[in-house]
Amino acid sequence: MSKRRLNTHRLSFLAALYIFVQALALGHSAAHADQPHKHYGVTCQLKVVAQDQAILPTFDTLPPALPAPEIAETSFYIEAPRWSRPPGRAPPPRSPPSLQQ
């Protein structure tokens, strides 16, 4: 097999493995509802991580507001030249060479 095809197969296998493990973890959390339980006599340490988030401290007063930055007035419009007539004639169209030369 070529190296590119081998890399494609490896990437496909890793993506499938990742999806399979995520499906197993979702099934495990749905079956046990994140309650303490044991597997073969050992306490299971898997749980939903979203419940262990740190709580951010609250402030009694808001921090002072920063002054708004000054924005320079710039024009993004480029004015097109005004012609009384087109600047020149277009070249004649090209055609295949004639056979009668």
pLDDT one-digit tens code per residue, 22-67? 888 888 888 887 778 888 888 887 765 555 556 676 766 777 778 8
Q: How confident is the prediction for the chain on average, in pLDDT? A: 77
pLDDT at 1: 62
Rounded-to-integer distance, Cα 92 and Cα 13, Å: 58
DSSP 80: P
What pTM does this model have?
0.39
The model's confidence at residue 93, banded by pLDDT at 50, 70 and 90, is confident
Query: Residue 32: is it exposed, middle or buried by C-beta count within 10 angstroms (0-12/13-18/19+)?
Result: middle
Q: Contact 25/46 with Cβ under 8 angstroms?
A: yes
Instruction: List residues bridging with 42 in a β-sheet.
Output: 39
Residue 28's identity, in one-letter code, is H
Domain-wise residue ranges, the chain: 3-48
